[in-house]
Structure 1
């Protein structure tokens, strides 16, 4: 089980880096104003929740990487008997997006829900980024298991 958690966390961190490239491209093209992880950290730091704070970019990146690694570890555990197919990974990534951007992020008054976001490009970019996360996660977990998509029977015993 520890091996699955470590592999999943590593796959989640790698997947977070790939999704971050999509997010940065969305920001550079003007589809998304700012990075959501930065806004989340900004709201958590002392002071006005919507004003810039020192270190929020670095802390946002670190928090995003940590969250992605934790979600990757959970995915590896959830798929250890079934095998991590790409469609399952994509669904998992989209569930994370929906849970965050229709759930806890707006509930904490950090960003509006994706369905009512005035920055029309942000939900599209973030959904695409989470598809990339889920795809990369499934492929990375599979590759780290060295099973080509099959269960790693030796490891389960």
Structure 2
């Protein structure tokens, strides 16, 4: 659940970055476009919805994995931020450019990496907060997570 909430918060920032002209379109939509049948770079019907669902699923899965790492213990903010930025680096400097979907961070236009890095920071902050709230609701003591 924490990963899904964190993905929602991150998506709000990504949409704002798009509206501010920092990204020409959303990376999840571009990834969905490449995965759907037909030319990987041609717009496709339903790619926006598929991209949103895939992004939500990926974010929820990554949040669940981080929750397993925490195992009900407090989720400190700094490791959650490192985890979220690690996802960004592995994705946007790794598999996404290797599949020819988007250029790597180092070769992209300046706005998209800035927005995506900020979005992943938001993801990490919200993920830690959500996991700590869930932990508290289960009777745990997340007070040490405020480091």
Structure 2 runs not aligned, ≥5 long: none
Residue 134 of structure 2 is aligned with which of 111, 130, 144? 144
- Length-normalised TM-score, structure 2: 0.92
What is the match of residue 6 of structure 1?
none
How far is the alpha carbon of 1:150 from its aligned partner? Answer: 5.6
* 1:129 to 2:119 alignment: yes
* 1:91 to 2:82 alignment: yes
Structure 1 runs not aligned, ≥5 long: 1-9, 152-157
Instruction: Report the aligned-residue RMSD.
Output: 1.3
* Count of aligned pairs: 141
* 1:52 to 2:63 alignment: no
* 1:62 to 2:53 alignment: yes
What do residues 87-141 of structure 1 show as CA deviations (whole Å, max 9, x unaligned)?
Answer: 1111111000000000000010000001111x21000000000000000001100
Instruction: Give the ranges of 4+ consecutive aligned residues of structure 1 lying more than 6 Å apart after TM superposition.
Output: none
- Length-normalised TM-score, structure 1: 0.86
